A and B are shown apart, each in its own frame.
Chain A
């Protein structure tokens, strides 16, 4: 492989005191790779903790401080939004269980430091789905599905309903009733996740997944995802969450056992492997060995070397300095894999044909420069 290492990014979390000695050329590259991977906020937090903003040369410092300000702002908005969702669900006697970015932020996890959160993800029992949806609708969140087909497709096959967008604030909630698609191959039990969910220390009416399940959900999400442009960010979430598991040996043993219980041994295997390779996450040898010994965790030799070729490319920042001539094909193959995992071939064929025949607007259309006030 001719892939450049991502030493600078890795150093930010593994050896933050070395930051102070970085040259301006290094800073230039770090900011560029960080911006491409949407990690500037996390880099800013880590650099500030490592050597203090004031010891960073002023040119890169401006960019890091900007990213830190944006992350702080989003954090404030998120706290407000979670409160509004809690009120909406609470009015109908429904509990609030947060996933992903919102869960990291509300439980003050290190994974939330500097991380941008766009949508709030919540988990409800499938039996409570209709009630949760109507509770949110009553408080102003409206389905953002583009057409009838999308509504039906989400409801029948996916693990979440179409995103709901608040008609005034424009904020978006993803309501999940499972963490992986119904039409997929793995079916981690939602009930088990909900039973293990933990209340927040300062607000017991809001719960987040247990620390082990946060890692597993993050791994399941990242290694089923087809679009890995921000994959490194997902891997960093996993790294941060793993570092917080605490209880040295037992924490790792529990994690491996829990992965098995939830059918998530394969995604966890990938997560530990690629976090260790790309970010230098210190995974104990005993944990790697225990992981590889779980049936179905470690892919066969051939498959694993293929996955290495693909993931070690696609999980790097989408930037010229961290890509090679095979990166585009690696990203494309993982995109196909994402669909493959999400549904059986007959459904995939049907879905893609449908999509081809009824062109819908892309979820995030590229903007025209004049529409953004840039002109």
Chain B
């Protein structure tokens, strides 16, 4: 018997189950129990998690029991993210409910998972080697990540690198790619047939929409990868795309700054980061046009 996926439920059935007891969803490497009475959350899950494994209702263990619920009974204008009844964040508009779920799930991982070193970075793989792109918001990291995924790179994550300090490998956690404002239209134009989640307008970050992770990335979600490149992207209007080697020491410092929990792991964390840098070719990358960027990445030499 093939495993059940979100796609095996009708939208009505999915909405009903989310509203009632919630669903157990395997989002490798984690299992989330998700519950929500808000239709927009069901829409987002139906669109974006169609290929993901749906576990039985009597699943024994979930890493996180999360929900997005209405903030008040009436009027239903606000929604709140809950981790097992605890509300770590202030409420947001109901239109942002699906994005809120995504943000909340990211927070669960970065807040509670310290057996893995977590880095704020987009992560992709090609020819068996992993590309890590750590960068602050506004650097064009997610846009570049979406474009590379559409160009055939395997998505490990658009938001966080999960580095196993014991094996030195990156654990994939492929989930939808979060795009903002102008990037949404740019990526829509490149992939007119791609699946998108609900658009959240007027969030703190402007307009936000999520692009579905490629099926091949989801299918290979349990295959870890060996770091190969660390690239620090920066979007700069009106410059030609440029990939410049970056000294390793400076790359290590920058990588450490993008880590959520290197300090928790102490020396083991530092050693794990140093190990990534030692294995990887490091670059600074600035770009204005994706069409110029993609050939440079396609031509990246395998690290020595």
Q: Which residues of A contact B (CB under 8 A)?
A: 23-25, 27-28, 32, 35-36, 57, 59-60, 62-63, 65-67, 69-70, 72-73, 76, 318-320, 365-370, 372-375
Contacts and interface: CB of A to CB of B under 8 A. Distances in A.
Interface string B154-186: 000000000000000000000000100000000
Contacts of B61: 24-25, 27-28, 57, 59-60
Nearest to B265: A69
A76 B266 CA distance: 10
Nearest to B205: A370
A24 B85 CA distance: 21
A363 B100 CA distance: 24
Given A69-B114, A69-B115, A369 B86 contact: no
A62 B115 contact: yes
Contacts of B178: 375
Nearest to A370: B204
Given A25-B60, A73-B264, A375-B205, A367 B88 contact: yes
Contact of A65 (B31, B99, B115, B263): B115
Contact of A70 (B31, B114, B260): B114
Contacts of A24: 60-61
Nearest to A373: B120
A369 B107 contact: yes
A36 B266 contact: no
A3 to B, nearest CB: 16
A28 to B, nearest CB: 5
Contacts of A36: 84-86
Contacts of A318: 85-86
Nearest to A323: B85
B81 interface: yes
B195 interface: no
Contacts of A365: 90
Interface of B: 31, 60-63, 65, 81, 84-90, 92, 99-100, 102-104, 106-107, 110, 112-115, 120, 137, 178, 203-205, 260, 263-266
B84 A35 contact: yes
Interface of B is mostly: mixed
Contacts of B60: 23-25, 27-28
B263 A73 contact: yes
Contact of A69 (B88, B107, B205, B264): B264
Given A59-B61, A373-B260, 17 more contacts: A23-B60, A25-B60, A32-B65, A35-B112, A62-B63, A63-B63, A63-B112, A67-B114, A69-B115, A69-B264, A73-B265, A366-B88, A366-B90, A368-B204, A370-B203, A374-B107, A375-B102
A320 to B, nearest CB: 6
B263 A374 contact: no
A70 B120 CA distance: 19
15 contacts: A23-B60, A25-B60, A28-B61, A28-B62, A59-B61, A65-B114, A69-B265, A73-B265, A319-B85, A320-B85, A366-B89, A368-B89, A369-B89, A374-B106, A375-B178
A73 B113 contact: no
Nearest to A59: B61
Contacts of A370: 103, 203-205
